[in-house]
Structure 1
Amino acid sequence: MLRNDRDALSGIRGGTANEIAESLRERMERGLLGAGDALPPVRALAEALDVNRNTVMAAYRQLAQAGLVVSRGRAGTHVTGPATVAQDGFAADTVLRDVGTGNPDPARIPDPTSALTRIVGRPVLYGEPVIDRDLEAWADEWMRAALPPEKPMRLTITSGASDAIDRLLSTYLTRDDGVALEDPCFLASLNTVRLGGYRAVPVPVDDEGMTVDGLRAALADGVRAVVCTPRAQNPTGASITERRAEQLRAELAAHPYVLVIEDDHFSLLSRMPHASVIPSDHERWALVRSVSKFLGPDMCLAVTASDPETGSRLAQRLSPGTTWVSHLLQRLTHALVTDPEVRSGIEAAAVHYAERNAAFAEALRSEGLTVSTGDGLNLWVRLPSPARDVCGQLMRRGWLARPGDEFLLSDDAARFHLRLTVHDLTETDAASLRRDLLAAVEATVGTRTVG
């Protein structure tokens, strides 16, 4: 901790929120402020710099959005350092069985070996088209099927969905602009918004997806962009119904220049229809579909369909030969998604995920737990006690689970949820996890509430 108020105020300069935030960031980078150190109280720093308290508060908010500081209420604002947001995927350095990964089943990812031999061709040089011709033709048909036929669109290929969302937001937004995010939220989206310096505005999610009241409040708050998941919302598994989509479109219709991004990450694997929230005449919109869930996370490629102006701006950030997506990767993607055997395997994987999740959810429900089956790779399990307490008990039994509070923006109820990835467990392991989960719940509640 800093020793006294004089030390805390020493060397901090600036007359605007950006200048103050940069001054504090510089002190962190030089090691003058370290993890755990307290920033000066807002009132004290405002008086020292002769600025309005709101200016200092805005500077602290910028640092918080970048993950560099955290507010602890009356205890003040403290330095945390970068990368404080949890990451999806396998946990490093653990001997526990990880059931919180969010990963697809590796046995369900297509083997690209035979396709690799078919994609070798003439080298692609600087200045050539950014999108491979064959992939563009296939993607055009794929994306148009999800949009009104009369809707003008432009295709862009990026290095995955997160790359697309990051580039789309930076196209229209500046630091501290508001972005409406689902709450609980996909970790990659939360990371993208925070590290971009934008202001995350939470929109609650229920069984039908993003709520109407939540979106209305976010729009009233002045958000410049909305990021939503039409199907298989991560972590809840919720999919937007056509009824809900119509209601959300009605709210967005009055805000045609708010950028609306649909992250349809589960696409070919989803068991639910795609209900779009984008109004038919909306000015700024993008539909993003990654191939990572059905072709594998290492296939860093996503197709983005957007209005022509947004597509043009996005394309300017993907220079031929420098920041474009490798044409070898594009050709491999096209070879796989047009292979009948691969498509049959993708369909079989979709059935597998749905059936395995449904069976595990039903078994938990029969024991008295509330589980949202939804769609996607994960289950969202409601607990009668805080999830972190249950996770602690599961660790003693050899399991590593993902507590719901890692996904929350403001929805405190997420603290009582687990996100479980169980589709790749054997029947024996699944039964063992169910028994251990019930025992963990019982141990944290103190009395037998399930089973």
Structure 2
Amino acid sequence: MLVPLDRDSPVPVLRQLYLELRRAILAGAVPPGGRLPPTRTLATRLGLARNTVVAAYEQLLAEGFIEGRVGAGSFVSRDLPDAPASPPAVAGAPPPPVPPASRRFAGAQAHTGTFGTVPFNTGRCTLDERTLQVWRSLTLRRLQRPDPAWLGYADPAGPPALRQAIARYLRTSRAVRCEPEQVVVTTGAQQAIDLMLRVLLDPGDRVWLEDPCYPAVRAALAAADARVVPVRVDAQGMDVAAGIAASPQARMAYVTPSSQYPLGVVLSMARRLELLAWARRSGAWVLEDDYDSEFRYAGRPLASLQGIDEGGRVIYIGTFNKALFPGLRLGYAVVPRELLEPVLAARLLSDWHPAALQAGVVADFLEEGHFAPHLRRMRQRYLAARDALVAALRENLADRMEVEAPEQGMKLLARLRPGLSDLAVSAVAARRGLIARPVSPMFIAAPPVQGLMLGFSGHEPGALCWAARELAAALAESDERLLSPSPSGAGGGL
């Protein structure tokens, strides 16, 4: 038996020997029932320690590839099938074809944005020293007195204490009408959205989607094999009348009413009532994604759409991943009672339940009154970062873009002057190590706005001012490559 070994390989010799012997057995070089060389003989032939060969044989024996016979040696297991008649795989051969069903997920990862601390990256959060100190204390307290329930399987809806704390917080801060048993704790808003799509939609169902839209939801709808009905957005938010005209019997509508993603406009009260009336009349469901309402810089946070829903058609979705930090992976959905059973069954089939220990820390953070002071401090920091970024953009890039300070959120929309392409500007920024996310790809059917989504939360004001100057310098060097491909892509109004 030929057993090639590479002494210069980083793979340990024992591992190489085991893999080569297994390959020879599977290829039929030694047929079922065939005898392997004695360990001493093979060790001498290969120049190895006998213990190395014995260890390889023992691994093959444990996995059922060989069997030992006292006084006779080691033999290939007779239970293995004969080697296939087909030729072995050829190096460089094309991989097996991808199943057609997998195409539903094609490109989904591209919609998640970019990770890291690069200036202008969106979704970044800041934990100041006071919050970190409290978080450490709460975590250590739970580890010092662990409850056995935290270490085992748990309720798919999440720990009761956290659900009670979330329900109390939502009733007070967002005017959400809910009881703790309606709260389903998830690993973020995206999982909550995915659960609702799997429970409520059949393949081919029509879903209203804001145009422009949150790209990750568009990808999730494609994965659910839903038919997207783009509904234009204007200064009052989603144009409900346009949605009714396009698809009056749609199964669902997805909206971001408090701060439309990506344009930042608020869904007007008239439109909210019109949307709820349509949902009641047609039996449709409304997914309200309230992704960053905690960070409002002018007045109190706007009341939720769910809070004025008299027909029980709105599913409210929120997250702590932005109010605290994305690595927490903790969100929630407020689910109408009649949907609880199928939603919890779907949750059980996906990842069973949220992490009980981390969820307990969040419950303590809420119940002991740490969340509200944390939000106040973060609003102050994010407001300072927002104002610094707006001032820096106006000072350095006024001839390239128009910027308004958003009243809510963790990012702003910079609308490019007519003739500029946001894709080209984004590419130029990337070469300078900056993330300037183009907005035009977020449009589906409506004429695209040429603009950039620039994050300010989680970034120091000085870093944002530096990044604005860098972006201005990069654009000054690349004028000829920044033109928009067509007049329809001009910046300006909604």
Answer yes or no: is the 8 Å Cα contact 1:171–1:314 preserved in 2.
yes
Corresponding residue for residue 395 of structure 1: 430
Using a 3 Å threshold, how does the CA distance of structure 1 residues 359 and 63 change in structure 2: closer, same or farther? same
- Give the total of aligned pairs: 374
CA apart distance, 1:388: 1.4
Q: Tell me the CA shift for residue 378 of structure 1.
A: 0.8
Question: Which of 115, 120, 124 in structure 1 is aligned with 2:138?
Answer: 115
**What is residue 266 of structure 1 aligned with on the other side?**
292
* Residues 183 and 408, structure 1, Cα contact 8 Å, conserved in 2: yes
Q: How does 1:225-374 map to 2 (within 5 A)?
A: 225-255=252-282, 257-271=283-297, 272-276=301-305, 280-319=309-348, 323-365=352-394, 367=398, 369-374=401-406
- What is the CA–CA distance in structure 2 between the aligned matches of 1:104 and 1:150, rounded to whole Å? 28
Q: Deviations over 1:317-362 (max 9, x none)?
A: 2339961112212211111223434431222112322342244225
Partner SS state of residue 399, structure 1: coil
Contact 2:213 2:262 in 1 (8 A): yes
The structure-2 alpha-carbon separation of the partners of 1:383 and 1:185, relative to structure 1 and needing over 3 Å to count, comes to same
Distance, in Å, in 2 between the alignment partners of 1:291 and 1:104 is 11
Q: 1:102 aligns with which of 123, 134, 141?
A: 123
Question: Gaps spanning 5+ residues in structure 1: where?
Answer: 1-27, 34-58, 69-81
- Aligned pair partner of 2:158 in 117, 131, 147: 131
Q: Please, what TM-score do these two structures have when normalized by structure 1?
A: 0.71
List aligned pairs for 1:91-240, cutoff 5 A: 97-105=118-126, 107=128, 110-111=131-132, 112-120=135-143, 121-124=146-149, 125-126=152-153, 130-145=157-172, 146-147=174-175, 154-220=182-248, 222-240=249-267
> Which one-letter code corresponds to 2:292 in the other structure?
F
Cα distance in 2 between the residues matched to 1:423 and 1:129:
32
TM-score (norm 2): 0.66
**2-structure distance, mates of 1:218, 1:279:** 25
The answer to whether the aligner puts 1:381 opposite 2:410 as a matched pair is: no
8 Å CA contact 2:230–2:445 kept in 1: the answer is yes
Alpha-carbon distance in 1 for matches of 2:445, 2:95: 29
Asked whether the equivalents of residues 403 and 418 of structure 1 are also in contact (C-alpha less than 8 Å), the reply is yes
Contact 1:264 1:288 in 2 (8 A): yes
Which of 429, 432, 454 is matched with 1:420 structurally?
454
Letter in 2 for 1:114: S
Cα distance change of structure 1 residues 101 and 151 upon mapping to structure 2, 3 Å threshold: closer
**Cα shift at 1:386:** 0.7
Corresponding letter in the other structure for 2:253: V
User: Matched residues in 1 for 2:444 and 2:184: separation?
Assistant: 30
Relative distance call for 1:240 and 1:354 in structure 2 (3 A) is farther
> What is the Cα-based RMSD across aligned positions, in Å?
3.6
Quick one: which amino acid aligns to residue 280 of structure 1? D
Distance 2:378 2:168 in 1: 23
Distance 2:223 2:98 in 1: 22
Q: Do 1:182 and 1:203's aligned partners in 2 also have CA atoms closer than 8 Å?
A: yes
User: Distance in 2 between the 1:207 and 1:108 partners?
Assistant: 39
Q: CA deviation at 1:199?
A: 2.0
Which whole-Å CA distance do the structure 1 matches of 2:284 and 2:371 have between them? 38
